[in-house]
Chain A
Amino acid sequence: MSTLRVSIWRGRDDGRFVTYEVPRQASQTVLDVVTHVQRHVDPSLSYRFACRVGMCGSCAMTVNGVARWTCRTHVSKVVDGKSSNRGGVPVSRPAPMATSDAGDAAVDGTTEGSDGDGGSLTIAPLANLPVIKDLVTDMREFFDKWARAKGQFKGASTRQDDFARVMPASPQRRLADAGIECIGCGVCYASCDVVAWRPDFAGPAALNRAWTLVNDVRDVQQPQRLRAVAGDAGCHACHTQGSCTERCPKQLAPTAAIAGLKRATARAAMRGKL
């Protein structure tokens, strides 16, 4: 069985990387690796996870320098070293699986030439957020920015009113749909250079959330929301570098949402309503 060398950040902002050895397994995710370390090597390791199926958004970490959701990131896709694409095609495995999971083959012991080198991983907490301990970051500022960007829905109807009818094919509903599946994992926020050099910037996730609500025809606090997302701490600080869109594990496009906010705030400003 080959082993994976895993360097994991330990401590707070002034911590250090500690290297562990973890057995490589078939279809192993980065979250599996961290869990193995905590359960079998060092129980004091702190990290967050909940659903393990890419819904809750709590397990994001920096893996080999890139922010990712670890529960849906296979080690074979991100591992450094020769075993990541080793010619380890298991004899009994169907060809399509063998090409994508070449790294897993070594684990099964069916790979010729397996020499125990399962490659290496470096796992750190998300960037642009204060570290509480090890891989756990303080997400308060991240979510406070959602609130400051008026990320709360506020309608005008009561329980006595009929359901609002929003046509699924209407342009605004489609725009809202495009960004609604955000799970709040913080990957975009950690990948954003503007957040890094301008800490008061709301960030891609908060602005994406605001954009879904700008397109919610039921919401009644649109002017306040546009005021909240305009300016230096809002959409106008974005440089459209697109890291958020490239890294979003849900394939959302916060860059497009922010561009939409820029257009909406400009329209409002030119009409004197901002």
Chain B
Amino acid sequence: MSAATQARHWYWQRISAMVLAACVLVHLVTIVYAVRSGLSGEALLARTRGSVAFAVFYTMFVLACAVHVPIGLARIAEEWLGWRERASALAARAVALAIVAMGLRAVYAMVFA
């Protein structure tokens, strides 16, 4: 991996970490608040269905995870498991796609399904 790519990865991981810090905070506060009006499937969907704010927020959350997590996992695979760079890069892309697919599917199910 070139030095420029490494530097860009560091940049994107730093930016995504900032987004995640805010998202996790909002997420936790929302959970604590939402618990008060019930955690049943019906209660949750009643709050989230049709909510554009929910969709925008969690889409951003999912995308930040999809950027942040694979970069970190690739480094761990290389440093702790001794994976080659090519293998870790491929695995990281697969993880990124999986996060995007599963995350956006969940968002769709909560808001539009």
The answer on a CB contact under 8 Å between B79 and A274 is: no
The answer on a CB contact under 8 Å between A266 and B7 is: yes
Total interface residues on B, using CB and 8 Å? 13
**B76 vs chain A, min Cβ distance (A):** 11
Measured between beta carbons, the chain A residues less than 8 angstroms from B79 are 197-198
The answer on a CB contact under 8 Å between B3 and A231 is: yes
Interface hit among B8-16, B20-28, B62-70: B8-16
The answer to whether A95 has its CB under 8 Å from any CB of chain B is: no
Compute how far the CA of A198 lies from the CA of B10 in the bound complex, rounded to whole angstroms.
19
The answer on a CB contact under 8 Å between A230 and B6 is: yes
The answer to whether A167 has its CB under 8 Å from any CB of chain B is: no
Measured between beta carbons, the chain B residues less than 8 angstroms from A266 are 7-8, 10-11, 14
Compute how far the CA of A234 lies from the CA of B4 in the bound complex, rounded to whole angstroms.
12
Which residues of chain A from 232 to 274 have a CB within 8 Å of any chain B CB?
232, 234, 236, 262, 265-266, 268-270, 274
Interface centre among B4, B7, B9, B11 (most CB of A within 10 A): B7
B11 touches which one: A227, A232, A234, A270 (CB < 8 A)? Answer: A270
The dominant DSSP class at the B interface is helix
The answer on a CB contact under 8 Å between A231 and B6 is: yes
Q: Find the B residue at minimum CB distance from A233.
A: B3
**A259 vs chain B, min Cβ distance (A):** 10
Q: Find the A residue at minimum CB distance from B15.
A: A266
Measured between beta carbons, the chain A residues less than 8 angstroms from B1 are 231-232
Compute how far the CA of A270 lies from the CA of B4 in the bound complex, rounded to whole angstroms.
8
The answer on a CB contact under 8 Å between A230 and B11 is: no
The answer on a CB contact under 8 Å between A234 and B8 is: no
Compute how far the CA of A198 lies from the CA of B22 in the bound complex, rounded to whole angstroms.
34
Measured between beta carbons, the chain B residues less than 8 angstroms from A227 are 3
Compute how far the CA of A3 lies from the CA of B51 in the bound complex, rounded to whole angstroms.
78
Measured between beta carbons, the chain B residues less than 8 angstroms from A269 are 3-5, 7-8, 11
Compute how far the CA of A198 lies from the CA of B79 in the bound complex, rounded to whole angstroms.
9
The answer to whether B2 has its CB under 8 Å from any CB of chain A is: yes
Q: Find the B residue at minimum CB distance from A265.
A: B7
Measured between beta carbons, the chain B residues less than 8 angstroms from A262 are 7, 10
B6 touches which one: A197, A198, A236 (CB < 8 A)? Answer: A236
**B81 vs chain A, min Cβ distance (A):** 13
The answer on a CB contact under 8 Å between B2 and A231 is: yes
Q: Find the B residue at minimum CB distance from A270.
A: B11
**B80 vs chain A, min Cβ distance (A):** 10
The answer on a CB contact under 8 Å between A274 and B4 is: yes
The answer on a CB contact under 8 Å between A234 and B3 is: yes
Measured between beta carbons, the chain A residues less than 8 angstroms from B9 are 236
Compute how far the CA of A232 lies from the CA of B1 in the bound complex, rounded to whole angstroms.
8
Measured between beta carbons, the chain A residues less than 8 angstroms from B8 are 266, 269-270
In the complex, besides A230-B3, A236-B10, A269-B5, 9 extra interface pairs with C-beta distance below 8 angstroms are A230-B4, A234-B3, A236-B7, A265-B7, A265-B10, A266-B8, A269-B3, A274-B4, A274-B7
Which chain A residues have a beta carbon within 8 Å of chain B's beta carbons? Answer: 197-198, 227, 230-232, 234, 236, 262, 265-266, 268-270, 274
17 interchain pairs (CB within 8 A)? A198-B79, A230-B3, A231-B3, A231-B6, A231-B7, A232-B6, A236-B3, A236-B7, A262-B7, A265-B3, A266-B10, A269-B3, A269-B4, A269-B5, A269-B8, A269-B11, A270-B7
> Would you list the 3 A-B pairs with minimal beta carbon distance, nearest first?
A231-B3, A269-B7, A230-B3
